[in-house]
Structure formats: C-alpha cells, structure tokens
Amino acid sequence: MLRVMLVDESQERAKLLRESLVASGYEVVGELADTLRLHQEVCRINPDVIIIDKDSPDRDTLENLCVVSRDQPRPIVLFTVDSNQEKIREAVRAGVTAYIVGGLSAERVRPIVDVAVARFEAYQGLQAQLAETQARLADRKVIEQAKGILMKIRQIPEETAYQLLRREAMASNRRIGDLARQIISTAKLLA
C-alpha cells in the first residue's frame, strides 16, 4: 500500500481527495495546508508519494518542491487548474512527476498516481545509469593516467601496465579506478 502525503490549501477539497485516495487503496500518512514545512514533514513521515492540489503553483511552492526533490526524491503529483506552459515547465524542473490540469475525479486518482510512480521509477533508473556511466568514464580516465605512470616508471608496455593494475586491484580487493587514483596521488607526491 502506497503511503501518500497530501497537500491542499482547501480543507473541503482535501477531504474529497483523501476519501478518493483511501478508496483507491492508498494510505494518507500526512496532510498539509501548504508547502512551507513540506521538506521537514517529508523527512519526518517519509511518504512514498506526495500529492498536491493547488489552484496554481506559486514560486514558494516550486522552491519547496525543488528542495524535496533534491534531498528526498519521490513521485510528486500536482493537481491544478493552471495550464500555463511556463508553469508546467517550472513544475517539472522542480520535480513534479505528473502535472494534472482539470477536475479531479475519484476514478482518475489511482491511474494518475500509478503512472506518476512508474515515471518516477523510470527517471530514477535513468539517473542511476547516468551516474554509473559518468563514474565509469571518470575511472577510465584515471586508469589511463595510472597506466601511463606505470609505463614510464617501469618501462613496460600498455597492456602489461593494465594487467599489473588489474592484478593489484584484485589482490587488494579494490576497484581498479580507486587503485589508479592512489597511484596518481602517490606519483604527484613523489614528483
């Protein structure tokens, strides 16, 4: 069961949304009237999804969403009546996973939240792949540098330098990139 934090400035609308969420099988674990304490409450409650129902996302709301998305990323669904293209772009940049314009009906809640969660998970997967690719690229650069140092100091060919790095990394149970960084640091100290 997904745990939902609900943010709505209208108590009447919040009540209807809460009922729709509960009827759809979600657990509402927190409710706020605005986003001022959103980051603190997200840290405290740790919901799976944040749902915001707001006539129009203002600057403060978007800034608070940015902080949450940076520090505690999770799917964020924003129900609004504001269809302004720039507001939509700002909201997406702030971390909103689903920006829903128009009326909110009970039968739409579950599919919208499910899509938002799926899109968030896909985005997080892409972010992880990007970080891994960047780390591998950074490792490749330092490995090349470390090979160059070993080739120069030991007067060995490139393949032998790489095998030496690989063998030592395996023997010391370390990543080859970490060993390469250590070799570069040591070479700088000795230069």
Predicted confidence band of residue 17 (pLDDT cuts 50, 70, 90): confident
Residues paired with 167 in a beta bridge: none
Rounded Cα distance, 47 and 6, in Å: 10
Q: So what's the architecture of 132-190 in CATH?
A: Orthogonal Bundle (1.10)
Is residue 164 over pLDDT 80? yes
| pLDDT for residue 109 is more than 90 | no
62, containing H or E segment: helix 59-71
Residue-wise burial string across 20-45, b where 16 or more C-beta atoms lie within 10 A, e elsewhere: bbeebebebbbbbeebeebbebbeee
Q: Which CATH architecture has domain 3-104?
A: 3-Layer(aba) Sandwich (3.40)
| pLDDT for 20 | 86
Q: What's the mean per-residue pLDDT of the chain? A: 92
pTM, two decimals, is 0.76
154, with CB counted inside 10 A (0-12, 13-18, 19+), is exposed
Give the Cα separation of 162 and 151 in Å (integer).
Answer: 9
Q: How confident is the model at residue 1 (pLDDT cuts 50, 70, 90)?
A: confident
Enumerate the domain spans of the chain.
3-104, 132-190
In the predicted structure, residue 104 carries a pLDDT above the cut 80: no
Average pLDDT score over residue span 118-147: 95
Please check the confidence at residue 102 and state whether its pLDDT lies above 90: no
Torsion of CA 68, 72, 77, 80, to 10 degrees: -10
Quote the pLDDT of residue 134. 96
Q: What is the pLDDT of residues 32-80, one digit of tens each?
A: 999 999 999 999 999 999 999 888 899 999 999 999 999 999 999 999 9
